[in-house]
Structures are given as structure tokens and as C-alpha cells.
Amino acid sequence: MPIDFLIENLSKTPAILFFILGFVASLLNSDLKIPPAFSKFLSIYLLLSIGFHGGVELSKNHFSFHILFTFLAAILLSVIITLYVFLIAKQKNKKEDAIAIAASYGSVSVVTFIATLSYLKSLGEDFHGYMIAVMAVIELPAILMGVLLARKINKDSKNQKNKMPWLEVFSNSSIILIIGSLLIGWITSSAGEEALKPFTQDIFKGMLCLFLLEMGILVAERLSALTKAGFSLYSLAFILPIINASIGIFLSKLLELNKGDALIFTVLAASASYVAVPAAMRIAVPRANIGLSVSLSLGITFPFNIIFGIPLYFYLINLFWK
Amino acid sequence: MPIDFLIENLSKTPAILFFILGFVASLLNSDLKIPPAFSKFLSIYLLLSIGFHGGVELSKNHFSFHILFTFLAAILLSVIITLYVFLIAKQKNKKEDAIAIAASYGSVSVVTFIATLSYLKSLGEDFHGYMIAVMAVIELPAILMGVLLARKINKDSKNQKNKMPWLEVFSNSSIILIIGSLLIGWITSSAGEEALKPFTQDIFKGMLCLFLLEMGILVAERLSALTKAGFSLYSLAFILPIINASIGIFLSKLLELNKGDALIFTVLAASASYVAVPAAMRIAVPRANIGLSVSLSLGITFPFNIIFGIPLYFYLINLFWK
Amino acid sequence: MPIDFLIENLSKTPAILFFILGFVASLLNSDLKIPPAFSKFLSIYLLLSIGFHGGVELSKNHFSFHILFTFLAAILLSVIITLYVFLIAKQKNKKEDAIAIAASYGSVSVVTFIATLSYLKSLGEDFHGYMIAVMAVIELPAILMGVLLARKINKDSKNQKNKMPWLEVFSNSSIILIIGSLLIGWITSSAGEEALKPFTQDIFKGMLCLFLLEMGILVAERLSALTKAGFSLYSLAFILPIINASIGIFLSKLLELNKGDALIFTVLAASASYVAVPAAMRIAVPRANIGLSVSLSLGITFPFNIIFGIPLYFYLINLFWK
Amino acid sequence: MQAVKKLEIIVDSLRLKQVIRALEEGGIKGYTIIDDIRGKGERGIQDGGSFMEALENSYLITTCPPEALEQIIIKLRPLLEEGGGVCFVSDAMWLMD
Amino acid sequence: MQAVKKLEIIVDSLRLKQVIRALEEGGIKGYTIIDDIRGKGERGIQDGGSFMEALENSYLITTCPPEALEQIIIKLRPLLEEGGGVCFVSDAMWLMD
Amino acid sequence: MQAVKKLEIIVDSLRLKQVIRALEEGGIKGYTIIDDIRGKGERGIQDGGSFMEALENSYLITTCPPEALEQIIIKLRPLLEEGGGVCFVSDAMWLMD
Ligand SMILES: Nc1ncnc2c1ncn2[C@@H]1O[C@H](COP(=O)(O)O)[C@@H](O)[C@H]1O
Ligand SMILES: Nc1ncnc2c1ncn2[C@@H]1O[C@H](COP(=O)(O)O)[C@@H](O)[C@H]1O
Ligand SMILES: Nc1ncnc2c1ncn2[C@@H]1O[C@H](COP(=O)(O)O)[C@@H](O)[C@H]1O
Ligand code: NA
Ligand code: NA
Ligand code: NA
């Protein structure tokens, strides 16, 4: 039963408990706060470590069509989600806001992804290293879709005074960092891995605790900002991860992924970006209310996934993979 | 003889030498400074690590009445110190300032506490893990006493326009962090300990060096700010740790603590807070000159304890425990 | 052939690839940036770690006249470089700017030095620990020469209204930190080394990667700022490291250093300071355009050295030491 | 462009939330905050290396229509009287309208 | 001392480069930037713990001769209209001349 | 409220101590400092990723009674002439009195 998974998940992973600590602290109106410069550093650290790790793993796998198909399926998934979420979200929101929301759900939350990996590790469940590389590239198609949608809207409204700053949209710091680190991990391979292990792996869990502490604080702040949004938006942020996870599980089954990879693939679908995509959309769709999309993806979908979603999706995968 | 203890203490612990380096740098008018965002992070790191460690240790000890008595004695000690220091300090200071000073001495300096633990470890002297938990809760009674004294003063002067913001006073970031981490350590126990060891333990001493470097700089700044305060205040900051240490040693003997625990208990008494309590008093007694209490506790009592106090108290304990 | 050295150098050291990543990100107009507070911390960390390491190594070497001669030769080298560069640079620049440039090339780049050590380690090549101490003291003579030149200029122009703030010039944070850490390493020796190893050594390479990422960004920014300077300045920043390296190799041969020590000595000569010396010159020669000297030393000489210079110099040393 | 009154407020970081509450009661809708700054005033030097929050200041900038100023000051003044801090008021023009 | 117009501009950090470009086109030679600040405005709260760059503001201060102001505003206004942000203009004296 | 002169000074961080000394000699009792900021001026771009202190600015805000301004400027001007940096003076009202 998922409830056991849940309790296991909580009582063994300090990171999630620190998330809850941050959340509670914020509700208690505490002044607890990771200094901004440091939370930005933590975010750089996590992206660099996970990207580098993915690159090293990728360098150890021989190319196979199975890997290629997994990449293509992930890209397709991202495109589909972005499009259908846009169609739903534009019903009750400004088109610009709908784009920001859609691209966010089409992309992935790196921290949710990391939580998934450590969940799998704690269960001793296998997964392939190249799934990290899949995650690293999955940010791009959603952003691309967002930009294309934005251009379409502008054309429709003949509101095309400024050219799209393509370069700035895609040279977003998170994207450069994760893809660059992936390449560096791929080039330096095991030599690099050995050199950086104490930094990128040994202290990783501790750094993650601090980052999740800050995330807990920010989620609580986002939630209280949400109170002004409508009910339909709230529910969207609960429903989308469930629908997207279902699509993810279905595709994983088709691709014949093993259980670990399937959970990762599912979480790619179910999670939503609140860093890279909002930053890209801030430039591509300046009139959008970015705060709104962040409130949904960070305020609701993120805690839902790391606390309930991951154990739930894995429970389902265990059912179907029998 | 204590002088040997002292030299041992200095030549083996880089952390204290970095404290002296920071102090000297500041006297030389150097621009050396840990960036504020980073020193705040260091402080978060230390609180998290020590709290977590205390929780893990607590989870390994079975409950016993001896442990309970030690907790109660520590709370009593804190209340007594706060009250008697208030009575002394209010002779020559504004009542608000006396409250801030009293609560500070009733509480504990986390860094002095950490220095004590590493002093004991370097001597190979045993102590119980739950003493860390004792330290973590000892911040609360002094703050509570401070708030009660503040209310009394306000009632006396009929100056009660604003309600006491209880929640904000106690949801101070240091308190939330140390008690939260204690709980998380207690819940996740050895599983958590293993996961976080490289972060919370292995690099701990290095992080402490950096923090003490910054402390050295701040102590020098505080000392030069002190020059304007009167002589009676200076001497108070030297005398209080000695009196309080004596009470601490006496109580430790009564409680039949072992030598290591006795030193820890004594340092709880002898040290004074310059983080959590001043932050709480800033809200509870807004009219107080917080800088004054910090100058005493950080500028004089802190360096006195970490350089002379700890070896001295342990010398005395060794005498009495024979 | 040096080209093999070069490729080896690149494909095995993640740090240099991160430097390139930062550089490319900046050219792509990315918003990637290490938060300032954190890059200052990284710089403190590197200075502390390398100084401490040098002190520990020094404590393990017995005093010998050979060591003394190496120190003296390094000081002489620094004085000579500062003087001759001043004579060249003042031809086409303001005298104040010439001083800043000269002192910068007379001193050393700590990060280039660190890159040299890890280059030697990756080749399994021996070197003596006291060379780190040589580097740590080499900042001083160049600054002293800079100050003396500044006084001479002021006397010539009778522009001596303000006294030279000697203390502030030499109590510069980088100098205090590296020399202080050197002393602490020397005092605490192997006890200290063991205590701090996880912090100052294990995670060192990872921290270096982050710092070089930031350096890559800053180099790209400096290069684009350079476009306004003249051609003769550009070429100076390429030619000086080559001339100085030649002097360094020549002196190393005279001193009969082993190959590893010779490369280190050569890099001391060939590299230029962009942290400690500019900060000291900012105070000693306030009218100088410090940005200009930093653009040369950081924008050109630094990347030249860490990518081409180090393997090239070592190739030459290998030729001559046969 | 539109004439506004610009308020610059410097207070203990720990009391910033109370100041924001007071401003919002006074009708303020927008503001900008610079955290973690230091200074010197009647209550001495505020510079806590930032880990001593009690010795840290925050800087808040806001604007209001000239006619709204009085109401805001009524809310703000008692807070600064009780816990220290300063406020400067000056004239400015607001670009967007 | 010399009379100048002082401009204070608060925009999304991600759009700061565009603002600087516009100011330089308008003839601005000097400016000062404070990064990584937070605030509240028409588009809600901007406070991203700083790792969410999309929710971070920057504060830019610059000055210009009074007669140059109009030209600069022409360049600046469309940017703020499109992507949010505020600008206050006030009078000041420039010490050095 | 009370009329004051507001001074905003932007200088190299490394020279801030000298500026504070000059201001205090001129009679200043209170000020606020924002560290570690960047900018552009006559001496080019100041942006050292903050570990190059020589390329870092600080921002100091202070106020004085209008009649004290001249004395302060006499102390301040030579410093800025020698080592760069800017100072703006404007009118403001001080809330507390
Ligand atoms: N004259 C002033 N100019 C600028 N800032 C000031 C001034 N006086 C006080 N401050 C700031 O306000 C804070 C609180 O002031 P106070 O309550 O007077 O101690 C100080 O720490 C300074 O940051
Ligand atoms: N009245 C105001 N006073 C000071 N800052 C403001 C004001 N209104 C908006 N801001 C700042 O400008 C940013 C963008 O404003 P907006 O585009 O209205 O959301 C906000 O996040 C605030 O930092
Ligand atoms: N017009 C200006 N407006 C605002 N800040 C300026 C201006 N000119 C210079 N600054 C600031 O003052 C610093 C020193 O200027 P300078 O001495 O002219 O190089 C620059 O780095 C900027 O931060
Ligand atoms: Na997704
Ligand atoms: Na105490
Ligand atoms: Na050199």
C-alpha cells in the first residue's frame, strides 16, 4: 500500500524532512531563510553535480537504439504535454500566462528528479545512468514549444515589435550549466568522476537537505500567494501531475523500461519546472505573470510529487510491471 | 597546570588559530571579511550539523531518569542565571538593556559549545551524545525569562501598547533550525547519520575554521565598539563566565556527571548567546540596545571562554573529580 | 609535442573544462553567474586551503640553504620583473597604470599556481611542498616595489599630499589569508592536516571547478572590455608570460631545481596577479586604472597560461633537463 | 509622468515584516527591498556579519501619491519610535502612469 | 555642483541587460547596479530565493543632464511597458564637475 | 518632519573606510552602507565577481542638516578627486525628529 511507501520515504530521507521543516518554519512566521546568494549557489551545485554525473554515466553506456528511443519518447512526451496543457490553461487564463504554465509542465523539476533517484537508491532499485542525460535535455523542447506558441500569439495579435531573443532564451543559466556539466562529465569520464567524487557525490545529500529547507520556505510563501488565484488553477496543479504520470507510465510500458527507469520517466512527465522554464519564459513572453506559473509548479505540484507522487507512481509501476 | 592545557588547545586546533588570525587581521585594519551571505550560511550549517548530530545521539540513548534530571537541571540553571544577572545588570543599565544581557548569559553560545566538544575529543575524553540535545533546548528558558521580565517592566511602566509577539520571539531562525534538525536526526537516526556524514561531520572542522575566522574579525570590531562602555560592564563580561562556571561545576558534581559531561554542562552555564537570544530580544524588547549585550557576550565572554575558559574549567573538574 | 600535453591537460581536468564552459556561456550572452558572495567565498577557500597546505608541507621539510636560495631567487625574480615591466609599460601608458601593470606581472596568480600543481600531480611528477610557501611570500616584493615606484612618481610630481597607507596596502585580505593559513598549517602540522583534510583537500577539486567556471565568465567579460585598449597592450599580455617563463626556466636551471619545482618556479614568473596586487595598488596608486591591469593579467595572461603555457613550459623544461 | 512621494526606510531586518504590514495598512501596494545591509545610527553600529540577525538592517523603498503620505506616516512613526530606524521622504516623478 | 536628473529603475534581473542597452543608446555613460533584490508590484511578489532568477529584481541608479532626460525616457518607456518594472525620476546635485 | 540634505556616495569598496572617516570628521553621525555592488563610470566597468575587491563598489547613504553640507563636501571632494567615485546630493525630509 502506498501509505507504507510514504512513511518509509519520510522516515529515511532527511532531505524531505528538511523540506517539511522549512515549510513549518514559514508557517510559524519564522525569519529562517537561506541567504539568497547561497541558495543560488546550492542550485548551481545541484545542477552541476547531477549534470556531471549524467555525463559520466552516459560515457559508460554504449550507444543503443533503445537509448535513442527513450530520448525521442521523452522529447515527444514533453511536446505533447506542453501543447495539451496550453489548450486547457488558455480557457481561463491570459494566453501569455497559459504559455508559461504549459511550458513549465512540459519540462521537468530537477529537484523532484533528484528526489526520485535517491528514492530508488534507498529501495535498492536499479536504473540506467543515461536517464539523467534524458532529463538534462528535456528542458529544451518545452522551452522551444513555449517560444513557438509565443510567436504565434504575437503574429495573431500583430504585436511583433520586438524580435524574439532566441539566444538569450536558450542560453539560460540552468540549461547551460546542466548541459555543459553533462558534456564535461562525458569527456572526462571516470578520471573526472574520481577527481570530483568528494564534492559532487559525497556531500550531495547534505547540500540537498539545505536546498530543500529553502524550498520548503518558498513553497509556503508561494502557497499563501496562491490564495488569490481561482479554484480551477489550484486543482489543475493537482490534476496535471496525475494525468502526466499516467501518460508517463503508459509510455514506459511501451518502451519496455525497467521499473527504475519507468519511475524516472514518469517523474519527468509528472513534474514541472520552476527555474529554467520560468526564466526562459520571462524573456520570451515578458507580459506573462510568471509568478502564477511558479506558484502552481512550485507551490503545489512540487510538494505533491516529492511527498505523495513518487511513492504513489512507484506503487502503480509495481502493479503493472508484475 | 592550565597553561599546558592552553598551549595544547592552541597548537592542535586550527579553528582557534583561525579565530586569532581573524582577530589580528581586524587589528591590522585589513579588509579581510567573510561575505555576509556566506557567514550566515556557515551559521546555518553549524546549527544544522550540531542539532542533527544531537538528535541522532539522542535516538541511540534509552530514556533514563538520569537524562531527565540533567535536562531539568540545565533548565533550572538557565532560569537562575537569567534572574540573578538581571538583578546585577539593572543596577547600572537601563532595564531593557539588563534584560537583553541577562537572557544572553542565561542561554548558551553554540560555537563555544562546539569548541568544547572538539576539545574533549582531542583529549579522548568521553561524553554522552544527549548533552547536545540538552544544549539545543537550553536556548528556550532564557528567552522565556527575558520575555516575562519584559512584560513585567512594561506593566510597571504602563507601556503596553503593543502585544508581545510570542510566536515571532520563539520562531527565531536559530531555534527552529537547531530544534528542527534535532528532531530530524532523532527520526532518521543511523540511516540519516550515514547519509549526511560527509556533509555534517567530515567537512565540519573546516567549516568551523572559516566561521571562527569571521568570529575573530567580529570580536575585534565589537571590542573597539566597547571602548565607550563603562568599566563595570567590561568586568561583568569576565566575571559572569567564572561565576556561572562555578555554579555549573557544582551542579555537575551533584548530578554525578562524568568529567566530559561535566565540562559540557559547565560551558552551558559559562557561555552567553550572541545569536538566538539577541534576535529574540530585538523583538521582545525593541527599546534595548542589543549591540551592548552582543559586545559583552561576543566581544569578551566568547574569546575568554574558547581560549582560557575551557581548559581552565576542565582543569578544575579534573581536580574535583579525583 | 606540446599539443599532446595540451589535449591531455584538457581531457583529464574537469576544472579547465569548466573554465571553458564559463567562457562560452558568457560569449553566448548567458545569464550564468556565480553569486558574488559565493565567488568571494570560493576565493577565500582556495587561499586558505593552499596556504594551509603549504604550511603543513613546510613544517615537514628541514631547513636547508637550498630552500633559502630558492626563496631568495624568487624574491629577486619578482623585483626584476616588476622593474623591467614598469620600464616597458610606461612608454605607452600613464605612469600610474604602468605601476599597476608591473606589480601585477611581478607577482603571481594563485589559480594558475594551483592549476600547475594539479597538472604535475596528474603526470605523477614530484615537487617539493615548500614551493607553496615560496608562492605565498612572492606577493609581497612586487607590492613593495609598486609602492616604492608610486612614492617616486609622487615625489617627482610633488604630488604628495596624502601619506602612503602602508598598513592597508600590506594587510590586504588575500595576503593576510594566505600567509596566516601558511602559519597555521606550519604550527598545527600533521594534526591540523588530518583534521582539515576532508575540507581543504577532498572537496578542493570540486570547489576549483566552480571557481574556474566563474573565472571563465570574468575572462570573457574582461576580453570584451579590452577591445578599447591598444594593440601594443594586447601583445604585451602575450609576450610577458613568455619572456618571464624563459627567465624562470633559466633561473630554475641555475638553482638546480627538479623538473616539478622548475615548472612551479617558472609559473611564478610567468603568471600575473589579478586579486592581491590590484587591491593593494588600488590603495597605493588610487589614480591608476586598475581595470586595465586586470584586463591584461586576467583577460589574456591567465587563460594563456592555464591552457597553453603550463604544458608548453613543461615541454621546454623536459627538453632542457635531459 | 506623475508626482509621487518617495519613502526610504531603514530598519532592523527583524522588524521589517512589521513595517511592511504598517505600510500596507496605509495603502501601499508596491515596494522594493534590499536585505542584509549595515549602518550606523543612534543605537550604534549595525553590522553582524549577517549571521547575527539582530544586527542587520533592511532598506525599503516605496512611493505613494502625495495626498496619501500623511496616512502612511501615521502608521509608520510609532514603529520607528519604538524600535529605532529611519525614514526619509522626498519628491520624485513616477515614469509609468 | 551641477544639477542632474537622477533615475532609479527597478526591473526583472533577466531584463536588466536590455535596460542598460536602452540607457546607453540614450547617452548614459555611468550607472550603478544593486543585484538580487526583492519587491512587490503590480505583477505580484518578486522573491525567488534568488535561485529562481525569473523572480529576482535589480536596482539601477543613473544620472543625466536635465536636457537629456526626454531622450532617455523615450528609449526606456517601451521596455517597462512591455515587461514591467518601475522608474522614478528626481532632482539631484552632482558633486564633482 | 525636518528638512535634510541626502548624500549618496558610490566609491571603491577598498576606499570606503577613508570616506567614512572623512564624513565623520565632517560631523556625520549616521549612515547606511550597501556593499558589493557594481557599476560603470569614467574609470570603466567595476565588476569583479566580487573576489577581485579592487573592482567592487560600495554605496553609502547619509543625511545632514542643510547648513552642515558645505563642511562635509570640503572633506569629501578631495577623496573623490583622487580616487574616483561619485556623490549625489538631494533634498529630503527626515521623518523622526
Ligand atoms: N543619518 C542617517 N543616514 C542614513 N542612514 C541612517 C542615518 N541614521 C541612521 N541610519 C540607518 O538607520 C539604522 C538605524 O538607526 P538608529 O535607529 O538611529 O540606530 C542605522 O543602523 C543606519 O543604517
Ligand atoms: N511603488 C513602488 N515603490 C517601489 N518599488 C516598486 C513599486 N512598485 C513596484 N516596485 C518594484 O518594481 C518591481 C516590478 O514592479 P511591477 O512591474 O509593478 O510588478 C516590483 O517587484 C518592485 O520591486
Ligand atoms: N552617472 C552615474 N550614475 C550612477 N552611478 C555612477 C555614475 N557614474 C559613476 N557611477 C558609479 O561610480 C563608480 C565610480 O565611478 P568613476 O569613478 O567615474 O569610475 C562607478 O563604478 C559607478 O558605480
Ligand atoms: Na513534466
Ligand atoms: Na549561559
Ligand atoms: Na609573475
**Mean pLDDT in each 10-residue stretch from start to end of chain A (322 residues)?**
66 88 94 89 94 93 89 96 96 93 96 93 90 89 94 73 76 92 94 94 95 93 76 88 97 95 97 93 88 91 94 94 86
Provide CB contacts within 8 A for C264, sequence distance 6+: C113, C116, C117, C120, C127, C131, C134, C135
- Closest E-chain CA to F72: E95
Residue of A nearest to E83 (CA): A286
CA geometry: angle E18, E19, E25, nearest 5 deg: 90
Amino acid making up residue C164: M
Interval between CA F33 and ligand 1 midpoint (Å): 10
Residue ranges around ligand 3 (CB below 6 Å) = E 30-32, 61-63; F 10, 39-43, 46, 57, 84-86
How far is the CA of B180 from the CAs of B57, B197, C112, E92, in angstroms? Answer: 15, 18, 43, 50
Helices (H) and strands (E) in chain D — how many of each?
A: 2, 5
Q: Does C104 touch chain F (CB under 8 A)?
A: no
pLDDT at E97 exceeding the cut of 60: yes
d(CA C220, CA C225): 9
Best of A26, A38, A207, A210 to disrupt the B interface (most B CBs within 10 Å) is A38
Q: Are strands F31-41 and D31-41 parallel, antiparallel or unpaired?
A: antiparallel
Residue C35 contacts E, CB cutoff 8 Å: yes
Buried b (16+ CB within 10 A) or exposed e, B196-219: bbbbbebbbbbbbbbbbbbbbbbb
Contact between chains at D82 and B291 (C-beta distance less than 8 A): no
Task: Calculate how far, in angstroms, residue A104's C-alpha sits from the geometric centre of ligand 4.
Answer: 7
The pLDDT of residue E37 is 93
Q: Which pLDDT score is estimated for E89?
A: 97
pLDDT, residue C96, reads 93
pLDDT in tens, C163-213: 778 888 888 899 999 999 999 999 999 999 999 999 999 999 999 999 999
The pairing of strands F86-94 and E86-94 is antiparallel
Q: Which residue has the cell 537622477?
A: E6
Instruction: List the one residue out of C229, C218, C234 whose CA is nearest residue C301.
Output: C234
pLDDT, position C312 = 94
Q: Is E39 in the pocket of ligand 2 (CB under 6 A)?
A: yes
Taking the CA of residue F78 and the nearest CA in chain C, the distance in Å comes to: 10
Residues of D whose CB is below 8 A from F30: 39-42, 86
Q: Residue C2 — pLDDT band, cuts 50, 70, 90?
A: low
Residue contact B21–C168, C-beta within 8 A? no
Please check the confidence at residue C146 and state whether its pLDDT lies above 60. Answer: yes
Interface chains of chain D (3 or more CB pairs under 8 Å): A, B, E, F
Gyration radius from chain A CA atoms: 19
Q: Is the CB of D49 under 6 A from ligand 2?
A: no
Q: Looking at ligand 3, which atom is closest to the CA of residue F38?
A: 23
Backbone φ and ψ of D65, nearest 5°:
-60, 145
What is the CA angle D18-D45-F77, rounded to 5?
Answer: 110
Task: Give the mutation target among F8, F80, F86 for probing the ligand 3 site: most ligand atoms within 8 A of CB.
Answer: F86
| Ligand 3 atom 14 nearest Cα | F85
Quick one: DSSP state of residue E90?
E
Q: Is the pTM of this model over 0.90?
A: yes
Mean pLDDT for C228-242 is: 85
- B35 contacts F14? CB cut-off 8 A: no
In chain B, which residues have pLDDT < 50?
1
DSSP at F50:
T
- Give yes or no for residue D63 CB within 6 A of ligand 2: yes
CB pairs under 8 A between C and E: 7
Atom of ligand 1 nearest to the CA of D46: 21
Contact: C36, E53; criterion CB under 8 Å: no
**D33 touches D59 (CB < 8 A):** yes
**Residue D13 Cβ contacting ligand 2 at under 6 Å:** no
Q: Which of F7, F10, F12 to mutate to test the pocket of ligand 3 (most atoms within 8 A of CB)?
A: F10
Rounded to the nearest angstrom, the minimum Cα separation between B212 and chain F is 20
**For a pocket test of ligand 3, which of F40, F45, F53 has the largest count of ligand atoms closer than 8 A to its C-beta?**
F40
Show residues of chain A in contact with C30, CB under 8 Å: 168, 171-173, 176
Asked if residue A269 lies in contact with residue A247, where contact means CB atoms within 8 angstroms, the answer is yes
Q: How far apart are CA F8 and CA F10, in angstroms?
A: 7
Size of interface B-D (CB pairs under 8 A): 72
**Which pairs count as long-range contacts for B249-253, CB under 8 Å and 24+ apart, including other chains?**
B249/B313, B249/B316, B249/B317, B249/B320, B251/B73, B251/B77, B252/B317, B253/B320, B253/B321
Could you report the per-residue pLDDT of E36-80, keeping only the tens digit for each? 899 999 888 888 777 788 889 999 999 999 999 999 999 999 999
Task: Pick F32's closest partner by Cβ from D39, D76, D80.
Answer: D39
B148-189, pLDDT tens digit by residue?
Answer: 999 888 877 755 556 778 888 888 899 999 999 999 999 999
Measured between beta carbons, which residues in chain E are less than 8 angstroms from residue D1? 89
What's the pLDDT at C137? 84
**B95 alpha carbon – ligand 5 mean position (Å):** 20
CA dist., res. C215 & res. C18, Å (int): 9
Cβ contact C279–F84 (<8 Å): no
In this prediction, residue B189 carries a pLDDT of 92
Separation in Å, CA A3 to CA A6, A307, A312, A315, B160:
5, 11, 9, 10, 50
Angle at A114 between CA A33 and CA A210, to 5 degrees: 20
- Separation CA B255–CA A249 (nearest Å): 61
Ramachandran assignment for D93, one of left (phi > 0), alpha (psi -120 to 50 degrees), beta (any other)? beta
Which pLDDT belongs to residue C141? 94
Kindly list the residues from chain C whose CB atom is less than 8 angstroms away from the CB atom of residue E36. Answer: 35
Q: Does the beta carbon of D83 sit less than 6 angstroms from any atom of ligand 1?
A: no
CA distance B221 to chain F (A): 14
Residue nearest to atom 23 of ligand 3 (CA): F39
Distance separating alpha carbons of residues E31 and D90, to the nearest angstrom: 21
Residues of B in contact with C167 (CB under 8 A): 28-29
What is the structure's pLDDT at F97? 64
F94 interfacial to chain D (CB closer than 8 Å): yes
Name residue A38's beta-bridge partners.
none
The continuous run of DSSP H or E covering F68 comes out as none
pLDDT in tens, C85-124: 999 999 989 999 999 999 999 999 999 999 999 899 988 9
Q: b/e map of B46-65 (b: 16 or more CB within 10 Å)?
A: bbbbbbbbbbbbbbeeeeee
Cα-Cα-Cα-Cα torsion A283, A286, A288, A290, nearest 10 degrees, comes to 50
State residue F33's pLDDT score. 97
Q: Which of E38, E73, E91 sits opposite D95 (nearest CB)?
A: E73
Is F50 close to B31, i.e. CB distance below 8 A?
Answer: no
Separation between Cα atoms, residue E35 and residue F47, nearest integer Å: 12
C-alpha cell at C260: 616539478
Check E4 against F88: CB less than 8 A apart: yes
Alpha helices, DSSP H only, in E1-97?
16-25, 69-83
Angle at which helix C139-156 crosses helix C173-196, to 10 degrees, equals 170
Best mutation target, C26, C29, C30, C31, to test chain E (most E CBs within 10 A): C31
